[in-house]
Amino acid sequence: MNVGIVGLGLMGGSLALALKKYFIAKKIYGYARSEKSKQEILELNLVDELVELETIIKKCDLIILAIPVDNIISILPQFLEISENTTIMDLGSTKEFIIQNVPEKIRKNFIAAHPMTGTEKNGPKASIDGLYEGKTVVLCNLEDNSQLHVDRAIRIFQEIGMRIVQMDAHNHDVHACYMSHLPHAISFSLANTVMNHEDPKSIIALAAGGFKDMSRVAKSSPIMWSDIFKQNRKNLLDSIDLFENQMKRVRQMVENENYDELKEWMEKANTLHEIL
């Protein structure tokens, strides 16, 4: 089949590499807007041909939207005249708001997917061979799709080595908030806290593993993550409330010198990695 990928950054570029590696696509078409991105895509040989969106719509059996979540919604009206046999699939980190905004005419074609993988990097040069292998992809609300599109999506993800989980979009957004969106909010907050308190020379001299690990995702794209926070606003606010309660609790234990209680609190946190 012919595959068109709109957005060839970390997720789209890495998927293009996977499709080539496993000989899934007959031809891979790519669409990008900036000249810088186009040049990098061609240099990295991510796709067979860079084309306009109209060509992807006409020639592709599968169209993958690997762009920021707000852009996914804004681009969907351009696909209203696609064939009933053309699959559209997004890779966005939120699902409920996107699904609610898919035009009814193409809802059966639209597969809402979220591969649970990635890094803090972006752009074509962030593409990684093997990014998807052994990872989980969540497919949401498949009962609203035609079977052809469901089968196509499942086959592709299986062939590139992913585990498939099916989930309601609302539940996905709640879980994704705690596993991904809240940690990003905390990382951005930590980075800004340190930047507002420490001078750059101290940061360079003293920053070690713990700080680097926790602040790593603060390098993520502000454009992408502000859109995610906006689309998953309610769940994010709820999770921040719960996180603030934990910060208040640790503050009280330290203020009151309740170090035995503090130790038990930390030991409970340690048990998370018995699950992971």
Which domains, from first to last, does the chain contain? 2-167 (3.40.50.720), 172-275 (1.10.3660.10)
Confidence at residue 4, expressed as pLDDT on a 0 to 100 scale:
98
Count the Cβ atoms, other than its own, within 10 Å of residue 267. Answer: 9
Structure tokens at 253: 């234990």
Between CA 175 and CA 242 the distance in angstroms is 14
Yes or no: say if 182 and 236 are a contact pair by the CB < 8 Å rule: yes
Confidence at residue 33, expressed as pLDDT on a 0 to 100 scale:
92
The secondary element (H helix, E strand) that includes residue 165 is strand 163-167
Confidence at residue 257, expressed as pLDDT on a 0 to 100 scale:
97
Degrees to nearest 5, angle at CA 23 with 20 and 26: 90
Q: Taking Cα atoms as reference points, which of 181, 52, 201, 40 lies closest to residue 116? A: 181
- Give me the average pLDDT of each 10-residue run along the chain (276 residues): 97 98 97 95 97 97 98 97 97 98 98 96 96 98 98 98 98 97 96 87 79 90 96 98 98 98 96 86
Confidence at residue 3, expressed as pLDDT on a 0 to 100 scale:
98
Residues with Cβ within 8 Å of residue 90, at least 6 apart in sequence? 64, 65, 66, 72, 98, 110, 111, 112, 113
Backbone angles phi, psi at 186, to 5 degrees: -65, -40
Confidence at residue 51, expressed as pLDDT on a 0 to 100 scale:
97
Structure tokens at 163: 């585990």
90 bridge partner residues: 65, 112
Q: How far is CA 6 from CA 66, 192, 203, in A?
A: 6, 33, 38
Confidence at residue 197, expressed as pLDDT on a 0 to 100 scale:
86
* Strands of 75-160, DSSP E: 87-90, 110-115, 136-140
Q: How far is CA 247 from CA 151, 210, 268, in A?
A: 45, 18, 15
Single pTM value for the model: 0.92
Between CA 115 and CA 73 the distance in angstroms is 18
Confidence at residue 99, expressed as pLDDT on a 0 to 100 scale:
98
